Structure 1
């Protein structure tokens, strides 16, 4: 990134190839829309190019990039003022055990319930869980992105998990 900042714009392609998948996963899990996720990844790299002069190099590039990604996500949802839902029929069975069909159906139902529970969480909590559990971000990195301490992130993630558990159990009762 420091080379991109210094004007070697060809290096941005290398960064794109390295980070497009984690960004796509982040945006897809937030929106459940593949085309939108691809567009938002492009927007992140456009902003990286536009604001490259702001990268100081004293922190982790990935943290800086995901900070931009969060801003892109927030801007998109503010602009559209809609929340994208994942229709249950669009969920595929990711974990299939052909030897035990009952187990497979049960896992599919659990994934559907989990997806529904995640969709019912406020955007901030869903984002925290996606970054910490699915993107494997360290609490310190998340704290840097959110502008808070590592301890505050731990508390926020714990509360988000508690809320997810409560929503999941509520959905489970109604099924």
Structure 2
């Protein structure tokens, strides 16, 4: 069977072939999980939010026109699911799964190198969490998920150039926060 594009599959879902949503789920669950995990550092919540995205996509399938990028439409839905979740649960403590990482023993010179790298990653994660949600989101979409700025602009309702400027400013803010944490 010829592999259908994401747009074609979603149009089939829109027309009533709900089983095609399962194919889209299999193709994109890891990308969405990574997006949510980078936003909240909680695996259990991230898994739930991925499920919520596909439930919402099914509920609002009529809004998909097939003209734009499926990825942009999917991540726009994911952004809305994320905002809705944190709006409802804003008083809930956000715990990090990063604390559960196990260290393996290596020889001393490798261990020092790994510990330095882990410290930098931990510092970067702390800096990301200090960024406002909108800035963290655009960095995750552009740098971690490698989504094109034209698609990010479509998600945010702005031009490609404006999306690039927002990402650049967010990166500068992240750099400042990282340096502050590193020097403290």
Q: Same fold (TM over 0.5)?
A: yes
Equivalent pairs counted in the alignment come to: 173
Counterpart in 2 of 1:127? 137
**How far apart are the structure 2 equivalents of 1:172 and 1:122?**
19
Q: How does 1:20-169 map to 2 (within 5 A)?
A: 20-82=29-91, 84-86=94-96, 89-91=99-101, 100-169=110-179
Deviation at 1:11, TM superposition (A): 0.5
Give the alignment's Cα RMSD to 1 decimal.
1.9
CA distance in 2, matches of 1:141, 1:86: 29
Unmatched segments (≥5 aa) in structure 2: 1-9
- Distance in 1 separating the partners of 2:98 and 2:43: 16
After TM superposition, the score normalised by the length of structure 1 is 0.92
Contact 1:63 1:141 survives alignment (8 Å):
yes
> Residues 87, 69 of structure 1: CA spacing in aligned structure 2 closer, same or farther, 3 A cutoff?
closer
2: distance between equivalents of 1:144 and 1:54? Answer: 15
Pairwise CA distance, 1:30 = 0.7
Kept after mapping to 1: 8 A contact 2:42/2:97: no
Tell me the TM-score normalised to structure 2 length: 0.88
